[in-house]
Each structure stands twice: as structure tokens, then as C-alpha cells.
Structure 1
Amino acid sequence: MSDYTPIDITPPELRPSALARHVPDWAEAAPTPDDVQNWEQRQTSALIPFSLDARGWPMHPHGRTGRVGRNLGKWGENRAADPIVVAGHGEDRQVLLITRDDIHEEAIPGGMVDPGEAAPAALVRELREETGVNLADHEPLILGQDVVDDWRQSDHAWVASTSGLYLLPATVTAVAASDALRATWYPFSSLTLLENAITAAGRTLYNAHRPLLQRALDHLAE
């Protein structure tokens, strides 16, 4: 007998009884993965390959999370876009982060890709919505596609993010909006310096975004 006892993180608005009455505009209507009819298509188009278990339920690409249920829009992979905006050079380099309004931590401005939307368009849209910065005329460098350690993930629903790097000669005015409480430029010559600056401001860096920011730093050091 398995001693695996994950917790169910499904919020009230995504439980079957609630979905029967009303489906939030950001979520699919399926109460469980059994109610999803296109798993083969989702697997084929996934950014990060994933398998189905014996029940036909999607399995997190990195294994068990200690959580079940769904606190994301879709079962299985949920696509996100994370624009990493860097200004300046060398020791004067800075990165634009927001304070998320859900977990109150400093994070890359970004969010979920809309249905039918390409990742580059989502990068531009999310950045504009959360900081007021419009980089529609800039070409991002796509750094990678990764399953991120999102606080809402479970064994059967997770976030796969496309991260894109934007390089600016100097900082631009950023104003928090949408899902952001603040928009702040921080020193970015190293991850340690960034974390020290965030700590000095009495804030915390969102752990899931550390690998994405480090990859940006690694690229800039090349």
C-alpha cells in the first residue's frame, strides 16, 4: 500500500460542484482529467513532454509534487511567458521585476499565454499589462522553455514557461498594473547582488524564477 498522501490544492471555484454552476473565464470546465477529451493532442503540442498514468491522467514531468487537484486554468501543461527585461551593462546592469499580488514576492513580470497566442506576443502583452512597458518593437532572445516550480502546481497540472530576454540601453519608466503591486528595477550583475537588494528592500525573490534569472545572467556573461 502506498504511503503517498498528497494534499488537494483545488480552490473552491474549481471544485466540481462550483464548476457545474459557473466556470471562471480563465479556467477549463473539466472537473477532473477524465473529462478532458484531447490528451493526445495536448501531449503532441506540449512544450515539455509528459506522460499519462494508468488512469489516463497527466503526470507532472518532474514527478510527484505532494499536491493533487488543480489550481491552474487547465489540467496538464499550462503555458506561461516570462519577459526578462535587462537595462544597462556590466556592474550597472538592472532587471525589471514586479511584486506579485498573489504571493507578494518579487518576480519576473509575466503570465499565462492566451489560447491561440504565440509566446513572443504573450511576452509583450504580459510585460505591458503588468508594468506599462511596451517592447512590441523589440525582438526578444528566447532563452528556453522550462517547467517552473510554480506555487500552484500539482501532480496533474503545472506551468511550462517560455522565457525571453530583452536588452535595453537604460531603464525606462515602469508602473505596476494588472497582477502587479509594484514594478521595480534591481541591480543585476549577479543573482547574489539581486537577492541582497531584494532582501534589503524587505522583500523576497520568487524561488521559481531563480533558474530563469540565472540563465539570463549566464547568457549575458558569454
Structure 2
Amino acid sequence: MSHRTYTHPDVLSVGVAQGWADPETDPTKIDWAPRQARAAIAFQVIDGRPVNPCERTATRYGRNELGHWGEALAADALVSATDRTGRRWIVMVERADGHGWALPGGHVDPGETALEAAVRELAEETGLTIPGAPWQAAPPRYVPDPRASDEAWMVTVLCTARLGVGDRERFPAVVGSDDARQAAWVLADTYEVLLGYLAGAHGGRVFAAHVDMLKRHLATPEVA
């Protein structure tokens, strides 16, 4: 069992200054009741310290690379389209932090629904807006984020929108911005196809936290 204690220096400096990290360095001083009440996945607090409800990580104490103690709720946007040959494509972004290619997404802001956050993050990271799209939000799910610890972890809501069938060259343009180094339509008939396309076209890999989520979603054939 790991007893490692670690919080990345950026959490305590840049994170606090930019507002994405808790300034409190001692979790036993936090009022946990409100955080537990709004948590998407219930978790325990033992001796004043939050306990990751789904896994033990390599970092027992501290926040590793995440900003908030306990659960951080995110939303991810999975936008798909089918070309005229019946092949499925999805929008992905290359993360600027070097963790690989992921679905556009980010933290759910106070007063915002997960779906609103997914739509906002999609626009911020790719420039893509799809008014009137038939969005669907899945139940919250824990994601095995490599930045997590036993005391700070991520839960996300996968929000999906299918754009139907069209000419590949006429798919809406996407351009990486904000937290995304670049954005692209990625061939994704299956998860294995997605891996091969990312590696061949971009020399890229899938963000570890999104592997299982993408495997599960892409196991279901696209319905035009």
C-alpha cells in the first residue's frame, strides 16, 4: 500500500492564484458536509480527510496534480458524425498538458449543469457550437485520472451528440484553443480504429482517464 504524500507545486501556486485549486492545505479544516451533500458519487471522510470512493492510487496523501480536495465534477462532450461511407468520426483534442488526446471537457462551474459545462467546454476548446443538437447526458462516472490521489479525484458526466450523416469534408471545422493544443475529427469506428488513427495521423495516444469511457461508448455501433 502506498503511503506517498504529494501535491504538485502548481496546485499551491498557479492553481490557487487562478482559482482552480483549494487554498486550504489541511483537509481536516474543510467543512465536508456540503461537499459530501453535492457529490455525484458518495464518499467518506475519515478523521477529517476525504477518501477516494473508487480506487487506491499511488498517492495516499495530498492532491497530486488536482486542485480540489475530494471530488471534482467534470463534463465531457462526445460529438460524432458518420461519413457517406458509413464510418464514424468523433471530435477530440490534444491536451496542452501532455497527457494525450481526450474528449473536450472540463470542470462544471457553480450553478452550471453538466450538459451546460460540456457544451461550453466544447466551444472553448474546439470552437464548435451545434445549436439544437440532440444532446444526451449519461450518469456520472468515476474516471481513473492519472493526476488523482486517494484524497482528490475526478468524476465526469459524458454528454453525447450525434450529427448524423454527411460528407467528411463538410463536417464542422474544429480548432484547438484554451486548454487544447489542437482539435480534430478522429476516425472511431471502434476503439482500436481510434487508437490506430490517432497514432498514424497525429502520433498521439488516448488520455488515460478517457480510455475506459471511450472503449465502452465505441463498442456500440453508430446509429445514423
TM tier, smaller: 0.7 to 0.9
Q: How many residue pairs are counted as aligned between the two chains?
A: 213
Q: Which amino acid aligns with 2:25?
A: P
Deviations along 1:168-205, one digit per CA (max 9) or x if unpaired, are 12421101100111111111110000101111131111
Give 1:48 shift: 1.0
In the other structure, the counterpart of 2:38 is 45
Structure 1 contact 7–66 (Cα < 8 Å) conserved: no
Runs of 5+ unmatched residues, structure 1: none
Q: Is 1:57 matched with 2:70?
A: no
Identify unmatched segments of 5+ residues in structure 2.
Answer: none
Identical aligned residues as a percent:
34
Instruction: Give the 3-state SS of the residue equivalent to 2:18 in structure 1.
Output: coil
Cα shift readout 1:98-124 (whole Å, capped 9, x = no counterpart): 000002511111111112211111011
Correspondence for 1:163: 158
The one of 6, 9, 14 aligned to 1:12: 9
Q: With the length of structure 1 as denominator, give the TM-score of the two structures.
A: 0.88
Separation in structure 2 between the aligned mates of residue 60 and residue 40 of structure 1, nearest angstrom: 16
Q: Which AA in structure 2 matches 1:85?
A: V
User: Measured at CA, do residues 181 and 14 of structure 1 come closer, stay the same or move farther in structure 2, by a change above 3 Å?
Assistant: closer
Pairwise CA distance, 1:219: 4.4
SS in 2 for 1:28: coil
Change over 3 Å in CA distance of 1:140–1:220 after alignment to 2 = farther
Distance in 1 (alpha carbons) for counterparts of 2:204 and 2:190: 17
Q: Which amino acid aligns with 1:4?
A: S
> Are residue 130 (structure 1) and residue 125 (structure 2) matched?
yes
State the match for 1:208 in structure 2: 209
1:111 aligns with 2:106: yes
- How far apart are residue 127 of structure 1 and its match? 0.1
Counterpart selection for 2:29 from 35, 44, 47: 35
CA–CA separation in structure 2 for the residues paired with 1:137 and 1:215: 26
Distance in 1, matches of 2:10 and 2:18, equals 8
**2:192 maps to which residue?**
192
Distance 1:213 1:126 in 2: 18
Paired residue type of 2:44: S
